[in-house]
Amino acid sequence: QYQIIKKADGAQPKPTDVVTVHYEGKLIDGKVFDSSVERGSPIDLPVGGVIPGWVEGLQLMHVGEKIKLFIPSDLAYGAQSPSPAIPANSVLVFDLELLGIKDPAAAPTPGADADEEEAAPAASAPAKK
């Protein structure tokens, strides 16, 4: 389930896209466990390389939109606890803003390979030409 906070009519990402997002992740009781907003730095991540609830939610969004995304545990981490801040079988609530879609055909940005310490899990490395 999701609730649109700010509507926009930008492009919609595909599962193969890399997107730039700002997010704040909370437990159902409102306790924040992760926030790119608090860090002051949005992240780039592959749409198909994150938890299933994000894969579905991101594809429903348009660039420029903000949504509140409610993710049941079976579309999040299920019985596995990825960190002490997220108990097993937790329903997660994300405030998610889709800032942009990167062009996968574009040349990689200088230093992009050095930026491997993202909070969200990455998918596979880009295909070699």
CATH of the domain at 49: 3.10.50.40
Is residue 18 a part of any domain in this protein? Answer: yes
pLDDT tens figures, 9-19: 999 999 999 99
Name all contacts of 34-40 with Cβ < 8 Å and 24+ positions apart: 34/85, 34/119, 36/119, 37/95
Catalytic residue among 23, 71, 86, 101: 23
| CB-based burial label for 79 (10 Å; 0-12, 13-18, 19+) | exposed
Please give the average per-residue pLDDT across 1-30, as a whole number.
Answer: 97
Catalytic residue among 17, 67, 94, 95: 94
Total of domains in the chain: 1
Is residue 65 a part of any domain in this protein? Answer: yes
Please give the average per-residue pLDDT across 61-68, as a whole number.
Answer: 98
Is residue 119 a part of any domain in this protein? Answer: no
Catalytic residue among 17, 67, 71, 77: 77
2 given a catalytic annotation: no
Range of the domain at 71: 2-103
Is residue 20 a part of any domain in this protein? Answer: yes
Bridge pairing between strands 92-102 and 32-35: unpaired
94 given a catalytic annotation: yes
Q: Across the chain, which distance is largest between two alpha carbons, in Å?
A: 47
In which element (H, E) is residue 115 found? none
Q: What pLDDT does residue 106 have?
A: 59
Is residue 56 a part of any domain in this protein? Answer: yes
122 DSSP assignment: P
Catalytic residue among 17, 34, 71, 86: 34
